[in-house]
Amino acid sequence: MNFIVVGYFTRGTFYEDYAQTLVKSLNKYNVPYHIEGVENLGDWYKNVNYKPTFIKRMMNKFSDMNIVYVDCDAEFLGYPKLFEKIESDIAVHLFDKSHFNKKFEGFEVLSGTIFLRNTDETHKLVEKWEEQCKRKPRQWDQKSLEQILNGVFYNLPEEYCKIYNVRYGTKNPIIIHMQASRRVRKQKGRILKSELREPLPQVLSKSTPLPKH
């Protein structure tokens, strides 16, 4: 199986600005992709907890391909060769908190980059994740995913889920994340509007030209 990168952004919000950067980087490295604009559900938790529902739909849409989900604030800095080789059903990065600050201890699963082999078992896993998000609607999707994985996953190298301002760890990332959610938290949950003069198309794929800004 080949793979396709998928993701979504809330239309009319500053996530749309990040999505433009993501798509430009995917085009630069000739990575296949399908990125969608979705309606703002009105609440940050609702928007992020839509993730497993979106992934399930993408797995059905691209049933003959493995799925690589990335948050729309991601940027590719190289071609992700590893996604051609992973044999596990699901792969995420287990982040060492001490890489952010030496005073911190422990690890946490990051859901900014997720590899999913398009199998029946993976479908069942995503459905469990979706149900967990519904059961705990005020819990971040990332925490719900960590709970249902229970430590069973392929650990992506940090190069594939690098937080942009983490000083320690890898210096040569393939996928970097800009942590847009921090801006939302600083705004006390308010999602800022897009600054693009012309909105992005609702669906962006390899053949979709970007508006000139």
Find out whether 24 and 211 touch, Cβ atoms under 8 Å: no
The pLDDT assigned to 102 comes to 72
Side-chain half-sphere exposure of 68, counting CA atoms within 13 A: 25
23-37, 166-180, 181-195: range with lowest mean pLDDT: 181-195
pLDDT of residue 1: 61
Condensed to tens digits (0 to 9), the pLDDT of residues 144-186 reads 999 999 999 999 999 999 988 776 677 799 999 987 554 544 4
Span 29-52, mean pLDDT?
A: 93
pLDDT at 209: 57
Q: Which has the minimum average pLDDT: 37-51, 118-132, 149-163?
A: 37-51
pLDDT, position 151? 94
Judge contact between 159 and 81, C-beta under 8 A. Answer: no
Q: How many residues does the chain have?
A: 213
What confidence tier does 77 reach under pLDDT thresholds 50, 70, 90?
very high
Domain boundaries 3-205, corresponding CATH code: 3.90.550.10
Give the chain's mean pLDDT.
88
pTM of the model: 0.90
pLDDT of residue 70: 98
d(CA 18, CA 39): 16
Query: What percent of the chain is predicted at pLDDT more than 90?
Result: 65
Task: Compute the average pLDDT of residues 125-147.
Answer: 97
Q: What is the pLDDT of residues 82-104, one digit of tens each?
A: 999 999 999 999 998 877 777 77
Lowest mean pLDDT among 14-18, 95-99, 137-141: 95-99
The rounded distance, in Å, linking the Cα atoms of 202 and 140 is 25
Residue 138 pLDDT: 94
